[in-house]
């Protein structure tokens, strides 16, 4: 059942979709792709002066392994690059090829269930309130020695939500047939369990 089995997991920043996706992939033995890293890699190159479209066209798998891709500056640059249609088009084939691999695949991002893999076997939308997500991101940044204020982090989260949800090309939204998992009041274990249950139910049907 796992061959060619695709799980699409979407959601806003800091909702927990990356954590859930990695855990789900490990549980079922599927390959995992954090598609946000594709855009972060493009954003990182933009910060060095490279044109966003050129960066997307020249992207290599090893570009996704750069530790600097997790900084707030790269995240903002990635979000801005993601609104460019030519950038999204350049990265489309990479993602669809990954999704179709034998052995099953989990892809997480913002338009996986709606645009990249609309025929995915399972679609999940992992979300949480802006305040909860900002608190998580604030704690993460503090743990890495980055001293942004909570108010600044919350403003950044809300700005990114607006940009992601209002962009003309592939806006962030749940697929019509997605299962919604709100992690605002869930532990990591509870969120993962909900995702595993949703996937197992489809596999058993």
Q: pTM for the complete prediction?
A: 0.86
204 labelled binding-site residue: no
17 labelled binding-site residue: yes
Kindly give, in sequence order, each residue whose CB lies less than 8 Å from that of residue 97, ignoring residues fewer than 6 positions away. Answer: none
183 labelled binding-site residue: no
4 labelled binding-site residue: no
15 labelled binding-site residue: yes
78 labelled binding-site residue: no
12 labelled binding-site residue: yes
Letter string b/e over residues 96-118, b meaning 16 or more CB atoms within 10 A of that residue's CB: eebbeeeebbbbbbbbbbbbbbe
- Tens of pLDDT along the chain (205 residues) come to 445 899 999 999 899 999 999 999 999 999 999 998 999 999 999 999 999 999 999 998 889 988 889 888 998 899 899 889 999 999 998 899 899 999 999 999 999 999 999 999 999 999 999 999 999 999 999 998 988 999 999 999 999 999 999 988 889 999 999 999 999 999 999 999 999 999 999 999 8
Domains parsed from the chain with CATH numbers: 6-204 (3.40.50.300)
């Amino acid at each position: 059942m796992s061959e060619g089995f695709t799980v699409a997991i979407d959601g806003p920043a800091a909702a927990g979709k990356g954590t859930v996706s990695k855990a789900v992939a490990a549980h079922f033995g599927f390959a995992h792709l954090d598609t946000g890293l594709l855009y972060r890699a493009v954003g990182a190159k933009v910060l060095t002066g490279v044109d966003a479209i050129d960066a997307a066209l020249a992207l290599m798998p090893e570009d996704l392994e750069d530790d600097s891709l997790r900084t707030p500056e790269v995240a903002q640059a990635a979000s801005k690059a993601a609104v460019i249609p030519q950038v999204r088009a350049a990265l489309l084939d990479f993602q669809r090829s990954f999704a179709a691999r034998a052995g099953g695949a989990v892809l997480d991002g913002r338009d996986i269930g709606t645009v990249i893999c609309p025929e995915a076997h399972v679609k999940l939308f992992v979300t949480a309130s802006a305040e909860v997500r900002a608190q998580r991101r604030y704690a993460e940044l503090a743990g890495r020695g980055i001293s942004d204020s909570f108010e600044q982090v919350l403003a950044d989260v809300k700005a990114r939500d607006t940009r992601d949800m209002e962009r003309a090309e592939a806006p962030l939204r749940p697929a019509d047939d997605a299962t919604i998992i709100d992690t605002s009041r869930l532990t990591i274990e509870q969120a993962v369990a909900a995702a595993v249950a949703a996937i197992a139910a489809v596999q058993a049907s």
